[in-house]
């Protein structure tokens, strides 16, 4: 049976949603966009570093430290309360417009669909509940139990064991090329959701399929 593993941040959930909260605080949309982009970049970088160093801290810690860096780099000072507000807003990010309809369609078709995330399970559950997606998913698989992050090969095996599926029957659906490459390395099939105009990483590997909108996925997968 085909099993779909959906990355959360950047695939189902739009991390750019935090920009509006930050812009309200700063009164400066371009600066808020700059900080939001840098925050996301450092959030991922810190998770990669910690995985390589085998010095785990939860994704929420990486997120807080990345925010501190992005603000410092932009020479912006926010109060502790404002930083806490931003971090709480990270649990209320919006779903991409195409996410709800696609998950509802898959659910009605009986296709198994899981959230597969670097975030802690409780935080991911809160986020997906707030975004109106949780009821359409068969479960949440977090890397937190392994104390490492994607694209560590162990996390992809952890998903297979948790979801009781085989690599050959499993598709990773992700807007993040590093995640696609990690899943391919683990023997999964992959679908890249191209959320931006950025090209795919030039590693002489490519996802099995690419879509610009999640609504195109069932047809591409032959469901």
Residues known to be catalytic: 7
Cα angle for residues 148, 151, 154 (degrees, 5° grid)? 60
Q: Determine the Cα–Cα distance for residues 163 and 4; give it in Å rounded to an integer.
A: 10
With beta carbons less than 8 A apart as the criterion, state whether 65 and 46 touch. Answer: yes
CA 154: distance to chain centroid? 17
d(CA 136, CA 139) in angstroms, rounded, equals: 9
Helices assigned H by DSSP within the chain: 18-26, 29-53, 59-73, 80-89, 99-109, 121-130, 153-163, 177-185, 217-221
């Amino acid at each position: 049976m085909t099993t779909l593993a959906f990355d959360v941040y950047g695939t189902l959930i739009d991390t750019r949603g935090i920009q509006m909260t930050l812009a309200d605080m700063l009164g400066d949309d371009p600066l808020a966009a700059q900080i939001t982009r840098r925050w996301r970049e450092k959030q991922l970088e810190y998770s990669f570093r910690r995985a390589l160093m085998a010095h785990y801290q939860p994704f929420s810690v990486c997120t807080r430290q990345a925010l501190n860096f992005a603000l410092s780099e932009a020479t912006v000072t926010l109060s502790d309360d404002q930083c806490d507000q931003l971090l709480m807003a990270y649990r209320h990010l919006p779903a991409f417009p195409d996410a709800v309809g696609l998950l509802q369609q898959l659910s009605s078709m009986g296709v198994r669909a899981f959230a597969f995330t670097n975030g802690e399970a409780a935080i991911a559950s809160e986020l997906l509940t707030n975004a109106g997606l949780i009821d359409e998913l068969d479960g949440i698989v977090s890397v937190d139990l392994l104390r490492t992050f994607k694209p560590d090969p162990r996390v992809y095996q952890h998903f297979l064991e948790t979801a009781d599926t085989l690599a050959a029957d499993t598709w990773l659906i992700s807007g993040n090329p590093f995640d696609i490459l990690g899943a391919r390395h683990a023997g999964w099939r992959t679908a890249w959701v191209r959320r931006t105009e950025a090209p795919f990483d030039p590693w002489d590997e490519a996802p099995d399929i690419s879509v610009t909108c999640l609504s195109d996925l069932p047809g591409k997968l032959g469901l």
